[in-house]
Structure 1
């Protein structure tokens, strides 16, 4: 792992105590096609192994959307869900890495995270203000300091579009623009006033190269494989000591749905118009149909599910028997990392990808 100093600490300011507006009041600075990181109210309801996350469970508040357009200038949001769970919504633009973490470690100690100004293999290095330990964002592991070797718990989240969020969660909340100054708004290493209409990483996302040098236009890194683009979007799942990276293009080529195993966990991964989503697979045979994904098999009743939320779809085609989809349980969303292929390979090696699924 190569760690290098790039900026002064906190030159990119994290957000503490964000404020929110109703989804019906879309912020002027974001468009319908902009990406948001979505945290559902049930995200904080977990067992120690992170397995008990069910879409739509409980009424502990509203789904929250954190616009990536804002996160370009802040990279970390320290928030507390209505359920009381402290979370860190993290974003590394160079790695396309969106991960939501529980900020509690050990016996419940709550950490607050900031941007260290360092990169580890071109990935954001966070630091906690309580111990000054440094954390690799894509891994959620402390790499230096008193907490070195400590893992953060990944929480289930989705990366989707503004329009999809408003459709799926009409009672949801948008994070309001935090404002202030950030190095990401500047042409040098000194913070400048933020204009959220700017897109500081637009050129980087469009060019072939990857990493800091590619972003600055001074070079790039080598990528020695032709079966996967380095900036292909990957959904990374870790369970029982195993790591499984599911590339979005692989799922799209499989008609939008693949099944696999990560440790002892069976998963189903859907590609939808708004992104890539992973849920616990109850043992169904899946196929894409108009309106969603059909779960077939002896235990699955032909129920139609929304591939983005895991919720059963209340549509005539989904009804089997008296209850139909309305009485079906939603699928459990799996805690996962959304990031570029090169970043997943940096963390887990070249063989940690699902490239040839059974379907």
Structure 2
């Protein structure tokens, strides 16, 4: 039986519709009913009074609390929040068969101090993939190949993003959340910038600054203003989500359309198309969320787990594309003149 594969155009249309649907469906983030529930609030108030209200009680708590947990920021107040979360969760399952969310998140079983163990471990895995593929990139791509330095910058953004994702999922506090969200946006922006540099700004084996500066600067300035807004003005979940999705849609459509145009002479571009299409489909998990399985694996953690194998495909495209550009550059008079 012959396997029928959807046309490239159809796959690209699906990818665009997925992201556009998410943009339209992206909800405003309101307070979760779990942390607003009287049972949660009363239990937490009682716990704080019993364990955290005086210096003597705090001393007893610190004596019982392992040093490793204190170093990770699990103080008396956060422990009361954690205990209250599970108190209401068990009660809600018994009485209404619903799993509540708390401060916009599902309840997770803590493991070795990790607040969200699956997302944390998968973030480490994604970072490890980036480091491994960077080493492969450096082994396989000549240092004078076009886009060599630019892709190093992209790898640096990738690794930084997964470091902060790991930190945030290990321990969710205000500053780690902000760093995670800003770093995630930097990853999306860097994908758009790499497209601009790759498609419009290459001149021989160098970047044409007359093209790169006027196109890259406005995007970089917007990123800095958005990061400042999230960090110091207002941390708006809904606004940040729509900004991220808008940039992701534009970047995805650009890469996918380019892959259609050049696929006949650069057949390896199926890798970038596949990674972007699959990544966009995975993003639907952020819309169709569900309570964590075994109190560990929720939709967000599965999304993180799914991006790791896709990263191998995308980084493989990066290597192939740099080698293709290098072979094309070797045919130019500029290469022969330099005697490289």
Bin for the TM-score computed over the shorter chain: under 0.3
TM-score, normalising length: structure 2: 0.23
Higher strand share: 1
**Greater fraction helix:** 2
